[in-house]
Amino acid sequence: MTQTILVLNGPNLNMLGTREPEIYGSETLADIERRLAARAADLGLAIDFRQSNHEGELVTWIQEGRGRVAGLIMNPAAYTHTSIAIMDAMQACDYPVIEIHLSNVHRREAFRGHSYVSKVAVGVICGFGSKGYDLALDGMADLLARSR
Ligand code: CA2
């Protein structure tokens, strides 16, 4: 059966492609989803791609992934730096998590250098723009192939 990778995007990422292209690029989230779905199909995987501005909704989606998805790729956006709730939900899930950021968070304001999510993620990708989603999907495919 085809394995599904949950791809979650946190607050304000629905605005991608409309503002701050110098930091976040000019692609929209829909562009990224389209590209990633094609890449997933090439890898024999499926993606379930979502965005929410609400912390609780993201927590619920992470919980509902138990027994349903093979892995999670998440750009938690600003919740990266604040959300113990998202970290706890990830800790309780039974699948691997890869954290991604479009920008290199370590070159920006000091508060962006701290991530609760990194404490529970298998790996972190940042600074490669939307290409980071593709890199994370490749990394997840390798991880799943090795655990088979
Ligand atoms: O670099 C990333 O991917 C971030 O997760 C993006 C978050 C930021 O809070 C993190 O520190 C790093 C912000 C997402 C906001 O996205 C926008 C995109 C276009 C216009 C406005 C906001």
Percent of the chain with pLDDT over 90: 94
Residues recorded for the chain: 148
pLDDT at 140 over 90: yes
CA of 24 to the centre of ligand 1 (A): 7
Q: What is the pLDDT of residues 81-92, one digit of tens each?
A: 999 999 999 999
Take atom 13 of ligand 1 and give the residue whose Cα is closest. Answer: 77
Percent of the chain with pLDDT over 70: 100
Record the tokens describing residue 91, joined without a space: 């800790």
The model's confidence at residue 148, banded by pLDDT at 50, 70 and 90, is confident
CA of 131 to the centre of ligand 1 (A): 15
Q: Is the CB of 95 under 6 A from ligand 1?
A: no
- Residue type at 30? A
Give the CA count within 13 Å in the CB-facing half-sphere of 101: 24
More confident residue, 22 or 57: 57
User: What backbone torsions phi and psi does residue 25 show, to the nearest 5 degrees?
Assistant: 85, 175
Q: In 10 A of CB 48, how many CB atoms?
A: 16
Q: What is the predicted pLDDT for the residue at 68?
A: 98
Average model confidence (pLDDT) across the chain: 97
Q: What is the mean pLDDT of residues 32-55?
A: 98
Say whether 114 is catalytic.
Answer: no
Where residue 54 sits, what CATH number does that domain have?
3.40.50.9100
Q: What is the pLDDT of residues 61-80, one digit of tens each?
A: 999 999 999 999 999 999 99
Distances (CA, A) of 54 to 35, 61, 70: 25, 11, 23
Task: Please give the distance of CA 23 from its chain centroid, rounded to a whole number.
Answer: 18
Q: Are 63 and 21 in contact (CB under 8 A)?
A: no
CA 83 – CA 62 distance, rounded (Å): 13
Range of the domain at 17: 3-147
Record the tokens describing residue 5, joined without a space: 């990778």
pLDDT at 102 over 90: yes
Q: Is the CB of 124 under 6 A from ligand 1?
A: no
* Options 24, 79, 95, 116, the catalytic residue: 24
Q: What is the mean pLDDT of residues 16-28?
A: 91
* Options 79, 95, 101, 133, the catalytic residue: 101
Count structural domains, the chain.
1
Q: Are 76 and 50 in contact (CB under 8 A)?
A: no
